[in-house]
Each structure stands twice: as structure tokens, then as C-alpha cells.
Structure 1
């Protein structure tokens, strides 16, 4: 696709790590529609420089120049970690980037370096505000990573919507309806027709509900508030676009257009404030206490803490030699490879 080899390897690692953790909505299933198709459409650049707009001891603003978010993200989190190691804290804000995969990848980079990590990004508008029906905010994840003395860190990576587009796309591949309460249309109807939802999300005729759902009875205003917080942080520092400017398509003409996203990467060096092993032990003690607390007699008989299900999935998949790729996705990826190789004048026996 024209991406330099070292950057392509980094991008592949981010996508494959999502599948290893069992987060298939953000794994290689997004290779074609989110990355390759956008490269072909010219709304994503296969290679672009990282331009430093402002650089202080503990902070920086970086312009991704509409390059590949899967390579911009790792570079900028590393920058935040390097600043944290020198000054105790590092914060890097990115403008003009693109989809960067799972936020948890970046929080984990920080935990591996002995830091508390945070990352978030805005996205194309899809969440409707409480008592609204128009998508105004992206799924805007909130992601924290905290080191522990266990085999895995505490990593919480959640969208601020009840669900997000990637999982609805997975429902489509599996031929399943979307559960009620996750999507609302312009008439205020809760939608379950997956294929229709995917079409109407792009056209602006349907929107995702924030965490808590529609209205305020179940606390939907909380998810709405957090989604708005992310949007503010990802746009206000660097005068970035929001709403329809991130839709990726002109809703009047249907023409595709770039989606210049904003990201935030934050790292806090634990050793700058306390002994790292002590911090990890304190964190582990709390999490073990939570998991050993009284279980719901009607539940599965187990309590998980954030990062544990992903660790278990990764361990099981690697022990089994890898992860399974659904037939429909295999077919799509093979067709993509054949098309790309033919365009380069190459042949394959696959």
C-alpha cells in the first residue's frame, strides 16, 4: 500500500495485538475498510512526516499530516513516555491524525515503561447527546493503564457509547441483529437492523447511544458528558475539527474526504513519586481484594478486573498457536491481497 516497511510492521502489530486480546472489532477486520480502502480513496496518506508544532519539557503538540494513525500513535506515546522519564509527566497532543486502533495499546506501552498511561481520541460523529438523535461526537474512548505486580496491568479501554461501529460491523459479518437500546434514529426509534444501521450511521440518519443509553433514567448523560469531554480535549488545544467535518464523507454529495482526528497521550512516571515495586504491589493488592470479594450467586462465580479478560484471551490464543479468522474475513483479506498484487504486476498461487 506504499507504507514504509518499518511503519507497516508497527501498524500490523497494533492490529494483531487487538485480535490477540480478543478485541476483534479493532483487529485485522479493519485492515481493508478503515485503512486500505482509505489509502486507495486518497483520504489517508501512506507516509507522512510527524511535524512538531510545539515542544516543551513535559508537553508537545504534533501534526500527523493525515498519516497512518497506527504509526503516529506509537511514536507519540513513546514521546510522552520519554518526557515522563525526564520530567515526571509527559503529555502529547496530536492533530491531523487518523484512526489509531485500540487505545489500550498505548496505555499498555506506558505500563511496560513503569508509567501510568492514558490515551483517547475523537472519531467520526456517531454518538447522539442525551435527548438528541443526531450524531455529534465520536465513540471517544477513555483508556487508562496502571502497572501491577501481576502478570498483566490494569487496562480499562472503553468507548463512551453503549457500543461502537466495529462491533456492529461484526454483527453484520455474523448475520446478527444489533441489540436493542444501542442505536437511535432521527425519529427516535431504537434500531436493531444491523445492515440498515451501518448504512444510516454513515448517512447521518442514525446515531449510537451514549453509555447509559438514551434519555437520563439509566445515566445516559454520564456517557454523553464523557464523550463531550474527549471531544473538547481532542479539539480545543489545537483548534481541530469536530462533528460533520470528521464524517469522512460529504453528506450532500457523497464524496469521500479526510477525517483529521485528534489524539491525546499521557504518561506519568511512577518512580518520580514513589517506588515502582511498591506501587505495583499496592495496585495488585487492591485488585486481588476486588476479585476475591463476595460473588453474585446468580453470576458466573467469578469477578474480573480490567485487563484480565484480555490477558486470558491473549494467553489462550498464543498457547493455541494464534487466533481464528472468520471465513468471511479470510475471503475479504485474500481478495484484497490478490487485487493489490495484480496492481503491482505480481502473481500468486493463493
Structure 2
């Protein structure tokens, strides 16, 4: 398993994107987004996605030259048509609008349709946090999750992310795990996955990686996960005028555009209290949680964001490990666009 310094991995990723005719400013945005996920240990949303993006670009299923357009803006609400542009560029644009509108109005809600995969939702929610705002990001995804009591995929992993000024960052799928974790296990020929992650194609729970890859993911907490996924669907695809989930493409649904919808909400903290006071209060709440005595089998109580921040500190110092299957996929993607593979 190669371990690559983050700057070197970023250069390699950006070279692949540039060779696939992604404009430099967009290639830089995509690279920063993906590398951030690898640094945080969320490898399912890091450079593992780059071969898929490359395939999309070379097949003409995603338009690297498109920028998207504002469909309407009224008060604190904005609708954006991604026009099949690169998902990270759509998200970068929409986050900029959300931060701007929240400054003016106190709150902003931006919904985008006809977009593509935008990487980790946390990267975008943190854009709003960095502006002193509460950032909430959601999106729909490929229909590989059955609704509760169903046995065919109708919903996506439909993540929910919330970032705030202070030491707390929630980024979760509405399934037991993100789809990328099953894809990573499949790419690396891992024979089994933990129980509770997935169903086979007949809707029977499975730990077989191949069956899970060809099957479906389990909703988080049964009917509650299905309810949360529906909420995300309404706030992203329904509200934006985007396609229903059965029309969304993705890694498992090649030969057509992805067409996902996304939602970006920004709340201007300073309209309620000074940002410094809010941050202090968040820190107080986090300290309260972490002062809880640890349950048997645990050394400490952690809050959302803790594991990722610790992993990021370690990987910035020691480098980013890339599983062999993922590295082979990256090398193949590089070969398709004529980019030399760095020695590792």
C-alpha cells in the first residue's frame, strides 16, 4: 500500500484532471476537495472517485466546460441549474451564493439541479463555517437504497452535513455506511464487509462484498433512515425541480448523466450573537459531552468530527495511504489520459 505525501498526491490528481481537459481553476477546486477527504480519512470520497470522474469526462457524460446558471433568486432563496457541470464547481458556485445571501439576509437556501457528484459534503459545509456561518449541505444520490420494507433501490445514500464555528462537524449518510466504503472493499478485493451494511440484489442482508456491490445499502436505523433520506430528497431534488431518484446516474449507472440535486443552507451566526460567543458555547457543549464517563469497551467519548481531525493531523505528517486496488485504478486513469505515474 503506497503512502503518498498530500502535496504529491494532489499534483498527480490535478494532472489527471488537466489531461482530461478540465480547466485549471476547476481542476484545482476538485483536487482540493478530494485530497481533503483523504486527509480526513474519508477515503471513500477522496481520490478513489477520480477514475470515475475521468471515465465520465472522457465519455462525455459530464461537461468540464459548463459553469451552470442561476435560474432564480428571490430574497434568501436561490435556484441553480448545474447544466451537467463538474459537481465540485457547481458546489463552489452555490456555496459562494449561500455565503453572500446569508450575509445580506441572515439566512440563505440554495438548491441546485442537474449537477454531478461533488465529493465530501463536509468540504462544502466548512466553506460556510469558515465565513462564520452555520453550513448545512445535503444531496441526493444513485438509487441503491430500498425504502424501509422494500427490496428495490429507490433512494440514494443522501448525506446530511452540518458544520459550525467550533469543534463539531457532522457528515453522515442516511445509510449505515457511505456507498464508497462498499466500492472501496470491492475495488480492493476484500471478500467480506461488516454485517448491517448491505443487502444483496434480492433484498437479503449480506456480508459478501461482491453481492453487496451488486446489491443495495441498508437505510440507517431502518424506517428512520428512510425518513431522513426522503427529507433530503425533498429539500434537494423536489425543491430544485431536479429529477426523481430513479433517474439519477452514478458509479453503478453508467451511460447516462448523473443529474443529482444538492442543497446548501447558510445561517449567519452574527444575526443571533457574536461569532466568538457562539463558538464558546459550542465548545462548552462539546466539553459537556466529552466529560461523560466512557462506557465499557471505550476509552473516551468523542463527538462528530473528532476522528477525522485526528486522522488529518496524522496524514499531514506521515502521508496518505492509498489501498492497492485504488492505486491501480488511479494508474489506469492516468494511463488513459497520458499522465506519468509518480514513483512511490
**TM-score, shorter chain, exceeding 0.5:** yes
Q: What value does the CA root-mean-square deviation take over the aligned residues? A: 1.9
**Matched residues in 2 for 1:125 and 1:256: separation?**
15
TM-superposed CA distance for 1:174, in Å, is 5.1
The corresponding residue for 1:71 is 89
The corresponding residue for 1:264 is 263
The corresponding residue for 2:30 is 11
**Which blocks of at least 5 consecutive residues in structure 2 are unaligned?**
1-19
- Contact 1:67 / 1:97 at 8 angstroms: preserved in 2? yes
**Which blocks of at least 5 consecutive residues in structure 1 are unaligned?**
201-205, 213-219
How many pairs are equivalent? 323
- Contact 1:249 / 1:257 at 8 angstroms: preserved in 2? no
TM-superposed CA distance for 1:192, in Å, is 1.9
**Matched residues in 2 for 1:250 and 1:341: separation?**
25
Secondary structure at 1:3's aligned position in 2? coil
Secondary structure at 2:334's aligned position in 1? helix
TM-superposed CA distance for 1:247, in Å, is 3.5
**Matched residues in 2 for 1:166 and 1:249: separation?**
10
* Correspondence for 1:187 among 198, 202, 212: 202
Q: How does 1:162-241 map to 2 (within 5 A)?
A: 162-172=176-186, 173=188, 175-198=190-213, 200=214, 206-212=215-221, 220-241=222-243
* Correspondence for 2:39 among 20, 23, 27: 20
- Contact 1:248 / 1:256 at 8 angstroms: preserved in 2? no
Output one character per residue of 1:155-204: Cα deviation in whole Å (capped at 9) or x when no partner. Answer: 10100011222000121215241222322235342122212332x2xxxx
Secondary structure at 1:94's aligned position in 2? strand
TM-superposed CA distance for 1:334, in Å, is 2.2
**Matched residues in 2 for 1:103 and 1:348: separation?**
29
The corresponding residue for 2:275 is 276
The corresponding residue for 1:157 is 171
Q: Which has the higher contact order (CA 8 A, sep 6+)?
A: 2
Q: How does 1:276-295 map to 2 (within 5 A)?
A: 276-295=275-294
**Matched residues in 2 for 1:175 and 1:185: separation?**
16
The corresponding residue for 2:6 is none
User: Could you state the TM-score of these two structures normalised by the residue count of structure 1?
Assistant: 0.87
Question: Residues 207 and 334 from structure 1, CA distance in 2 versus in 1: closer, same or farther, beyond 3 angstroms?
Answer: closer
**Matched residues in 1 for 2:140 and 2:205: separation?**
24
- Contact 1:250 / 1:257 at 8 angstroms: preserved in 2? no
The corresponding residue for 2:337 is 340
**Matched residues in 2 for 1:38 and 1:178: separation?**
28
**Matched residues in 1 for 2:100 and 2:127: separation?**
12
- Contact 1:137 / 1:242 at 8 angstroms: preserved in 2? no
TM-superposed CA distance for 1:41, in Å, is 1.9
TM-superposed CA distance for 1:76, in Å, is 0.8
TM-superposed CA distance for 1:250, in Å, is 10
**Matched residues in 2 for 1:337 and 1:181: separation?**
35
Secondary structure at 1:118's aligned position in 2? strand
Output one character per residue of 1:141-165: Cα deviation in whole Å (capped at 9) or x when no partner. Answer: 11111112xxxx3110100011222
